[in-house]
Structure 1
Amino acid sequence: MRKSKILVVLRHGEADFTFGNGTDFQRELNQNGVDQLSRIKKLFGKASIKLDKIIASASVRTTQTAEIMAAELDKDIIEYSGEIYEAESSILLDVISKVSDDVENLMIIGHNPGVSALVSSIADQGYLNMQPGMLVIIELSVSQWKHVGIGTGIVREVMQ
């Protein structure tokens, strides 16, 4: 019997819009975003999934999101990637395909529309528009990350 993997997809928490000289990449979480992620973290804790790796976009709001979600975890499991910033689902799939097969439970923290398209593609159950701070747990029917693709997983839980 094939061992399944777990992919957790999280859209960064709610962030303030930038005014003046700030860029989208530098946007920070607002208080609603921090509160929302604290609540999601508690809910996710009840799912009893021990994360082996977190790959997050290198933007400010996603690094803040990763820090909140991994506060009690070993920081060595977090990898920040500029490649994930505003990435399309095909790029996200490419990043996932390169993850070591020793990793059983992976979290990706990114941006829309890429994360919504990723979840919708893998689950192949129609489009799920992920709102800021929304987390989706997908059970994959693959034993190697390079095999993740269209229809290879089912949505086990959605948290918001």
Structure 2
Amino acid sequence: MKTLTLLRHAKSGWDDPVARDFDRPLNAKGERAATTMGRHVRALGLGFDHVVASPARRVEETIAGFEAGYGATLGAVPDRRIYLASAVTLLDLVRELPADVERALLIGHNPGLEDLVLMLVPASDDDALRARVEDKFPTASLAVIAFDGAWADLKMNGGRLENFVRPRDLDPALGPDQA
């Protein structure tokens, strides 16, 4: 069984005057959320054989905070294609993962990550977890999708959503309208 974990970058600072969106840093809430998610992933016992990430500054800073909470370096490989990518582009990237990788982590942006979850996980009337993703995939949220077969053969509706965690699920202060 393969496991694909998707992590959206943490909350970025819109108040920071940068020339390009690519260079936007995290804000203080985003830094806290990234570290909190790293601690939670460590507590869940999740590990990764391969990590691919957008090279955007807010993703790099999310990785740094996540690693601090996780207690280990991820060794993320930057891939420019992830930056603001569509779900279709992300799916192509996942299909290119090395065959021997069992547990991959992809760190990037919305709407591509949310759309990828919804593309890979079939809708059903009783799937509350998928409905939460459909409602919103907030910053620093994490989705874990499992599927059988090879990365190259991953198809639409071919996965099972095993976990979806938002920062506010772990600390209400990291939810909307909180400082």
> Which amino acid is 1:139 matched to?
A
Q: Under a length normalisation based on structure 2, what TM-score does the superposition of the two structures give?
A: 0.80
Larger relative helix fraction: 2
SS in 2 for 1:45: helix
Can you list the C-alpha shifts for 1:34-92, whole angstroms capped at 9, x where unaligned? 111111111111221211111111100011112333344345x3101111000000110
The answer to which of 84-93 and 38-47 deviates more is 38-47
Unaligned runs of 5+ in 2: 124-130, 167-179
Map of 1:49 onto structure 2: 46
1:135 aligns with 2:142: yes
CA contact (8 A) 2:7 2:141 kept: yes
Map of 2:79 onto structure 1: 81
> Which amino acid is 1:23 matched to?
R
Can you list the C-alpha shifts for 1:110-153, whole angstroms capped at 9, x where unaligned? 111100000111112266231101101111122x1111221111
Map of 1:106 onto structure 2: 104
The 1:134/1:21 distance shift into structure 2, 3 A limit, reads closer
Q: Under a length normalisation based on structure 1, what TM-score does the superposition of the two structures give?
A: 0.89
SS in 1 for 2:19: coil
Q: Distance in 2 between matches of 1:14 and 1:42?
A: 17
Map of 1:147 onto structure 2: 153
Map of 1:124 onto structure 2: 122
Q: Distance in 1 between matches of 2:78 and 2:88?
A: 18
How many residue pairs are counted as aligned between the two chains? Answer: 155
